[in-house]
Amino acid sequence: MGTCRPYSPFHSYQIGSLISFHHLKLFQYCSSLRLQGVRCYYKNKRTTSIMEPKSKLLATTSSQAQGACPDHMKDRFSDLPDEVAHQILSSVSILDLTRFGTLSKKCRELYLSTPSLNFDEFNNWNKSSYAKQFKLLSSLDRFLVRRRENKIQCFRICWSLSYGKAASLYNELYRVVTWIHMAVRCNVEVLDLELRIPDTTRLELPSCIFLCGSLRSLSVHCNKILTAPSLVSSTNLQYLKLTNVTVDEGLCKWISCSCKCIKELHLEHVEVENITMESSSLESFSFVFPSYCGLCHLNISCEKLEDIHIEWRFASTSSRSFKFFAPNLKYLKWIGNLLNNQNLGKLMCLEKAEIFLKHGVDNNDFSNVLEVLCSVCRAKVLILSGEMTKDIAGNVSSL
């Protein structure tokens, strides 16, 4: 395949002068498939073929000048089926993907149609001035516009908003929200958002996320309040992970009423007062908050639930309760404090239970330990913390 003049929508940002292309990530994969003779062009300087000796390259100079293309110099990567090429490119960052798109017309087509996009290398790149930041944002905008409506299967955005002038900060936030809208329009299936936003800035995720019929997986890592969507909106979400967000009971109600296909729900460092979850599809649930949290009541009723992981610590057991109905539960991991008001029911299908609980400052009643043990007594594998084991040993006479 003949050469063509390198083209990139990122020229204004001059990515070529800022980074070096990571050959190993892409080209070692090609060589494992025995793809010989991939050629690269960096600006106007041609590098040698990554697999060809210099002597062979010199020997073919005259034939190339006449328009001939030796077999060993063919671009075999471009001959791959699009599905295979996209699979290779799925692990490449947007910066490297842009470089790849300058190699040929076919590479540019693959660059604009790859279904996996990763915007996560910009936190320390050329955002030192407003002008450089504006060029970066504009370049990413143009890239998404040039993709038109090519499907986005997986889209990850990891972005730290700059601390500075309000105009610059809100411009960044507006761009990020615009990218989310574009991804939804391209029928995104997996959306991963990790946003670091100053405390003084308000963020409200666009409602189109929760109305997106193609979305199957959503991860949100953001130190902000997450507003509950309208209950009239239904979703096909199967996986939901929330990290470092603050939510209200309305979000739990939305999950219970609108997420009819949800299979996995993971809450990490989530500030919430009460959790009430009812689902006929949920199979895996976790609530992890390693330090003391403000959660008061945890109520779960999920007939298909098979795996649950709870890390819940508090100073006082008063006004706290833990109840769940999960007759098909197989794996239970519970770390934290014992409660005076807890009801696990009879877990008849339990295969493995890991219980690492200790008494609170206002709770030394051994009957609470006994209640937990009765619920998990049918587990095939039972792992207890040292403190619980000592507690049991010291109260053997009461058993």
Whether residue 389 lies inside any domain: the answer is: yes
pLDDT digits (tens, 9 = 90+) for 31-53: 343 333 333 333 333 443 334 44
Give 233's pLDDT tier (boundaries 50, 70, 90).
confident
Q: Give residue 260's region: left, alpha or beta (phi > 0; psi -120 to 50).
A: alpha
Domain count, the chain: 2
150, 186 Cβ separation under 8 angstroms:
yes
Whether residue 372 lies inside any domain: the answer is: yes
Asked whether the whole model's pTM tops 0.75, one would answer: yes
- The HSE-up count of residue 324 (CA atoms within 13 Å, CB side) is 29
Which residue among 54, 82, 110 closes a domain? Answer: 82
User: Residue 7 pLDDT more than 70?
Assistant: no
User: Residue 209 pLDDT more than 50?
Assistant: yes
Whether residue 361 lies inside any domain: the answer is: yes
What is the model's pLDDT at position 52?
A: 44
360 membership: H or E segment, kind and range: none
322-330: long-range pairs with CB below 8 Å, 24+: 322/297, 322/298, 323/298, 323/299, 324/298, 324/299, 324/300, 325/300, 325/301, 326/300, 326/301, 326/302, 327/303, 328/303, 328/304, 329/305, 330/306
The mean pLDDT of the chain is: 79
What is the model's pLDDT at position 104?
A: 86
Give 14's pLDDT tier (boundaries 50, 70, 90).
very low
Give 18's pLDDT tier (boundaries 50, 70, 90).
very low
pLDDT digits (tens, 9 = 90+) for 133-151: 788 888 899 999 999 889 9
pLDDT digits (tens, 9 = 90+) for 66-111: 455 555 556 677 788 989 989 989 888 888 888 888 888 888 999 9
Q: What percent of the chain has pLDDT over 90?
A: 39
Residue 291: domain span: 272-399
Which residue among 55, 82, 109 closes a domain? Answer: 82
Q: What percent of the chain has pLDDT over 70?
A: 75
Whether residue 56 lies inside any domain: the answer is: yes
Please tell me what DSSP assigns to residue 365.
-
Whether residue 311 lies inside any domain: the answer is: yes
Which residue among 33, 60, 82 closes a domain? Answer: 82
Whether residue 380 lies inside any domain: the answer is: yes
Whether residue 355 lies inside any domain: the answer is: yes
Whether residue 369 lies inside any domain: the answer is: yes
